[in-house]
Structure 1
Amino acid sequence: MKRTAVFIAFSLPAFTVMAAEVRFTGEATAVNDDRAIYQEHHVVEGECSEGVFRPASQTVTYAGDGNDRFAEKKLTYDESLLRPTVNFRQPDFNEVMKITNRDDNNLGIEWQTPEGDTETFSIDVTDSLVADAGFDHLVRQNWSAVTSGERVKFDFLAPTRGKAYEFVLEPAGDDRIDAAYTLRIKPSGTILGFLVDPILLGYNDEGFLTDYLGLGNIRKDGDSNYTVHIRYTMKTDADCELTR
């Protein structure tokens, strides 16, 4: 009996979990004239589990001319890949946005506005709710569907409004995106569709985000954000797959 038990134990597949890190950069240019605006530097720490990268935390630094850093965002994915906890700061405008995932039951939002006011909101979590960079993980979680031409419905958090709106992720064709797969995020409602421009995304065959074209999170002035085309380049991969 003991010999059989030992044999069975050693015959079970061993799934290795290893610490891993992904580094990539983004060059943000103006949509109309391709003028360089800023750079993004991403560091994602996590692990390779069963051959797939699972992020745990992410730091994004934003730099302008001369590599002067003017904003920073930190994300943690402890509760959910779709709904990370977010801490974004852009000191030039005295703006701070905090989104706290509370046991994946509720999202607490605290926004320090450029005007110096503080607004707070509370959003109940649903399975379809996506916040901030969670859209990137939504794509990879639905990789087979979106690369086969299917549409995915979800609710996208608008943190400055304290609400979530119905959106759809779908394949798209646009000659401004040169990627293996081009996708579009747009409001599913007609009225909101007139008010909010779609976001275009480009992905390579491995599931890495190569392009983002749409409204960004960096302020142009006190009233509006830049609309940008960000082209991403992988610097250090995780030695495991991003999706399956």
Structure 2
Amino acid sequence: MAARLIKSCALLLLLSSAAYAEKLTVIGDAYALGGETLLYREYHYYSEDGMDHRVVYIAPDNSKIAEKSLNYRPGKSTPEVNHQAWLYPEKIQIAWDSDQLALAYTDNDAEQKTATLDANWPLVIDAGFDNYVRENWPSLLTGASLEFYFPAPTRMSLVNLMIKQKLCAAERQNDVCFSVNSSNWFIRLLLDPIELSYDKDTQQLSRFRGLGNMMDKEGNGLKVDIRYRYQGLCVDEALCAPLLSEATPQ
């Protein structure tokens, strides 16, 4: 009896620790670029040591439309990624195989594409870009243009991108802004840059404007204006996350 009680208590503690192993840290409200139509919300959860990062994407009807997990142990700007979307069926995996990148991509239940690529440096992967900005903060504030490589799983290749400081188009007064675009001048003529706004004091991303990583039901990339809220102790009801349903992804 005592042994069973001890075992039950141990199991309860294990389940409790698992339930609180990650904390909701950031909420991103994604609006249609140039408008006020809410497209979805991002809920960012981090483990206590910051090495694991989970993003849950929730539609306005409270259904889960995508989920992404990142493992930062290979590097703060070069995490492993596992992304699954259901609004438009898509699965992306980026993993390290020794000093090479293993990419896997499935689009709308089509046959999976895979590739193993040599890593070109400096390399930035997915949300590791946020850490890359902070790591290079002093250089960026001097006006330097920094080039880096970024995996494009849909193309099974690395693309060469560039980031530099720019004037802020958004309203926040305490922000510093950066533009991200192709390092190829011809491609820059064809693509709209992404604008990132960071708080000058905290170096936290406050706004993302441009083509995001989510697609609509037809598979078209969504151009979004994402405004980020940092939870902290979450004492203000306006900042706290609404309760999420356990809706089955459609």
TM-score after normalising by structure 1: 0.80
Question: Once the 2 structures are TM-superposed, how far is the Cα of residue 149 of structure 1 from its aligned partner?
Answer: 2.3
Task: After TM superposition, list the pairs within 5 Å mapping 1:148-163 onto structure 2.
Answer: 148-163=142-157
**Could you tell me which residue of structure 1 aligns to residue 106 of structure 2?**
112
| 1:79 alignment partner AA | P
DSSP-derived class of the 1:74 partner: strand
Would you say the 8 A contact 1:129–1:164 is kept in 2?
A: no
Query: CA separation in 1, counterparts of 2:140 and 2:23?
Result: 26
Question: Once the 2 structures are TM-superposed, how far is the Cα of residue 93 of structure 1 from its aligned partner?
Answer: 2.6
DSSP-derived class of the 1:126 partner: coil
Paired positions, count: 211
Would you say the 8 A contact 1:21–1:236 is kept in 2?
A: no
Would you say the 8 A contact 2:168–2:176 is kept in 1?
A: no
Tell me whether 1:82 sits opposite 2:77 in the alignment.
Answer: yes
Q: Deviations over 1:77-117 (max 9, x none)?
A: 111112211111112333111111224x1111111111522
CA distance 1:198–1:46, shift in 2 (3 Å)? farther
**Could you tell me which residue of structure 1 aligns to residue 30 of structure 2?**
28
Tell me whether 1:131 sits opposite 2:125 in the alignment.
Answer: yes
**Could you tell me which residue of structure 1 aligns to residue 65 of structure 2?**
70
**Could you tell me which residue of structure 2 aligns to residue 212 of structure 1?**
208
Query: CA separation in 2, counterparts of 1:133 and 1:28?
Result: 16
CA distance 1:128–1:42, shift in 2 (3 Å)? same
DSSP-derived class of the 1:109 partner: strand
Alignment match of 1:181 (pick from 168, 176, 198): 176
**Could you tell me which residue of structure 2 aligns to residue 94 of structure 1?**
89
TM-score after normalising by structure 2: 0.78
CA distance 1:236–1:102, shift in 2 (3 Å)? farther
DSSP-derived class of the 1:230 partner: strand
| 1:108 alignment partner AA | A
Would you say the 8 A contact 1:201–1:212 is kept in 2?
A: yes
CA distance 1:196–1:163, shift in 2 (3 Å)? farther
CA distance 1:20–1:59, shift in 2 (3 Å)? closer
Identity among equivalent pairs (%)? 27
Alignment match of 1:56 (pick from 44, 51, 54): 51
Task: After TM superposition, list the pairs within 5 Å mapping 1:219-230 onto structure 2.
Answer: 219-230=215-226
Would you say the 8 A contact 1:24–1:233 is kept in 2?
A: yes
Query: CA separation in 1, counterparts of 2:152 and 2:171?
Result: 25
Which structure 2 segments of 5+ residues have no match? 1-20, 234-250
| 1:220 alignment partner AA | D
Would you say the 8 A contact 1:83–1:101 is kept in 2?
A: no
Would you say the 8 A contact 1:186–1:198 is kept in 2?
A: yes
**Could you tell me which residue of structure 2 aligns to residue 45 of structure 1?**
47
Would you say the 8 A contact 2:205–2:228 is kept in 1?
A: yes
| 1:200 alignment partner AA | E
Query: CA separation in 1, counterparts of 2:150 and 2:72?
Result: 17
Question: Once the 2 structures are TM-superposed, how far is the Cα of residue 222 of structure 1 from its aligned partner?
Answer: 3.1
Question: Once the 2 structures are TM-superposed, how far is the Cα of residue 22 of structure 1 from its aligned partner?
Answer: 6.3
Would you say the 8 A contact 1:212–1:230 is kept in 2?
A: yes
Which structure 1 segments of 5+ residues have no match? 1-18, 48-54, 238-244
